[in-house]
A and B are shown apart, each in its own frame.
Chain A
Amino acid sequence: MVGRLMKVNAYTTLDLVDCKTRTADGETTGLGVANATSAREDPDCVRFQFEADGQPEGVAAHVDELELAPEQARELAGALETHADRVDAAQGDDASD
């Protein structure tokens, strides 16, 4: 195991997130770290980073990073909000209290 590549501290957006890694050969589930950030000075894009704790056989340890223009970041945020509402509503129906 190479060990975690991302630095992780209290400012990391999500230090605990469920994830799936899918390759042509199959799918593995596990935990990971996700972080939205931008350069401290003069940021030119929003960075959305993700690292799964472990990788399936044959997949090297790595961090994936999206470089988002502001409008892309907002679009993503909007889509995430919409789906969050949907999940809340669905879970609310099933909730026992």
Chain B
Amino acid sequence: MPTDVEEWKDDIYGTDIRAHIERFAEEGWDSIPDEERDAWFERFKWYGLYHQRAGQESYFMMRIGTPNGVLEPGQLRVVGEVAREYATGPVDNPEFGDSWADFTTRQSIQLHWIKVEDVVDVWDELESAGLSTVQACGDSWRNIVGCPVAGKDDHEHVDALETVHEFQSEFKENDRYRNMPRKWKVAVTGCVEGCGQGEINDLAFDPATKDGVKGYNVRVGGGLARNEPRLARDIDVFVPHEKAATVADGMSALFEAYGNREDRYSARMKFLVDEWGTEKVRETLQDEFVDFELQSAGEGFRDSYSYNAGRENDGHDDHVGVHPQADGRNYVGLNVLVGRMGTEDVLELAALADEYGSGEVRLTQRQNVIVTDVLDEDLEDLLAEDLLVDYEPDPSPFMRGSIACTGTEFCSLSIVETKNRMVRYARHLRDNVELPDEVEDFHVHLSGCTASCAQPQIADVSLRGMKTRKDGEPVEAFDLGLGGGLGENPRFADWVGERIPADEVPGAIGNVVETYKREREGSETFRDFVERHDEDALEDLVEPEETSYEDPMMHNTKRTWYPYAEDDDMAASPAPTDRNDVPLDQGDDAAPADD
């Protein structure tokens, strides 16, 4: 029997939803009938709107889908202007101020505190710049990811950006795949360093050659959530570059037809691949969903994959720093700590991109941003700009390697505070823990729960939110993993530390790094060092310890209405509010709220 979400979707889904959202925008939050809220919130996701958590009713996160992380000239400025006007809430974040943009691990943008009353105005502004929130969330094709410098990279085997644009127009800008059994995450990589992270996507296209023809090898069924991580599996298919869309279409149709609609928790493609095996997936694709003979896999480039790999080699682990483009210009990757950039900084960055580049910027899956198309002679001046003091092209490994999900600040799934905490961790590690001189990369991914939005399983140090007891009190804590990463031999972390109090995590990381420095063989990387040890030995490496690091959020932040509010008690929440953040009166005998 289909789920209730399936039934809501049957009623109204896809582009039909827009008219309803426009109506709610005009009539206000209160016009959404209480008993229909769940159904409407599910549908809003198709338009990139995610209702924020308990204590923050009537506020939405809005996700802007930017395929392959590309923001064309002018678009970043519009994002900044929208954030400045609409992404402010009833309270500030002590680290980031009253509005900001979040760059996500799927190369898209998230804004918070959006009111339904403002959604139409926001869409008008975004759409006038060619930006869209359609299908950014919900049971559909999510933002297509890939190497952020596709089309400009000088390590490119095949033009993945062309493929991404094709997929975008064929599969996302219409209702064709409006109603998948579950989210559908697609990665297209054309470079030889593996930057698209196809391994953790439902459908992955990886660069390959067959009989002299350039194209992609296809993998399916990757994903990290629910404590069931899977790498995408090889289905032994090569597709020439210009035919990639036929296979993407076929595989999407396969998932649409066969994905589990009875149980949302078992609906992701990874579970279908588990159940069927790769041979049956390939056979079904061949027999039912493509009308040509599928070729077997070609020669790939996995042995040169360096992105997020943690190995010693000549390739990139990320895109931070100054790098040459294929056309002789340069791209400058800037570190955006935990992916969050205050609105004024977003606007300043847009201005710098206009001045020194072509105006284009690109977002990476490590929550960072790239200014492309910078001429050699302009590099020095760009690098001297004040903004780059805060968003460095040459940061400490701990700053550059940090990723954090949204956390209890806004997300109803998270157990712990995340982004502000990872900022504190990164700064403490930068100031107190020394890595060997030549080590430029040290990846710490912090996720608030097992949903794993910060991709914790594929980092040098993986952190996943939990709780523990310290001095008799429940406090925020982390499970800790070691030794994850992609590259030639992708691997998920071993979870070797449990329930480490949040204020002892920097000490634990510091101690592991000390042991690494002392015991490493030659110039081996941290990942290589970890892989030499068995699980028992790794457990011994994890020594939590209090240090000079202080954590102001040890208490149960998920029980607050907003962790950084002065009075954070749930009862003190102003929500739900009207379009001006004024609390809506919920009592029967109250005067109507001003609008």
Contact = CB atoms under 8 A, between A and B. Distances in A.
A73 to B, nearest CB: 20
A54 B415 CA distance: 20
B496 A10 contact: no
B466 A8 contact: yes
Interface in B329-356: none
B1 A42 contact: yes
A1 B496 contact: yes
Interface string B129-153: 0000000000000000000000000
Nearest to A12: B415
A41 B262 contact: yes
B468 A31 contact: yes
A9 B499 contact: no
A53 B498 contact: yes
Contacts of B443: none
B535 A7 contact: no
A39 interface: yes
B415 A10 contact: yes
Contact of A53 (B226, B227, B265, B499): B499
B378 interface: no
Nearest to B412: A10
Nearest to A18: B469
Nearest 3 interchain pairs by C-beta: A3-B495, A9-B449, A16-B467
Interface residues of A, number: 20
Given A16-B467, A40-B263, A7 B450 contact: yes
Interface of A: 1-11, 15-16, 31, 39-42, 53-54
Contacts of A6: 227
Interface string B445-472: 0001111000000000000001111000
Nearest to B457: A3
Contacts, number: 74
A39 B499 CA distance: 28
B558 interface: yes
A77 B465 CA distance: 28
Contacts of B4: 40-41
Contact of A9 (B228, B415, B496, B535): B415
Nearest to B264: A40
B498 A4 contact: yes
A36 to B, nearest CB: 16
B395 interface: no
A2 B227 CA distance: 12
A7 B227 contact: yes
B184 to A, nearest CB: 20
A41 B499 contact: no
10 contacts: A4-B479, A7-B226, A9-B413, A9-B448, A10-B412, A10-B449, A10-B558, A11-B413, A16-B468, A16-B499
A45 B499 CA distance: 31
B474 interface: yes
Nearest to B414: A10
Interface in B463-493: 466-469, 474, 479, 481
Nearest to B6: A41
Contacts of A15: 415, 466-467
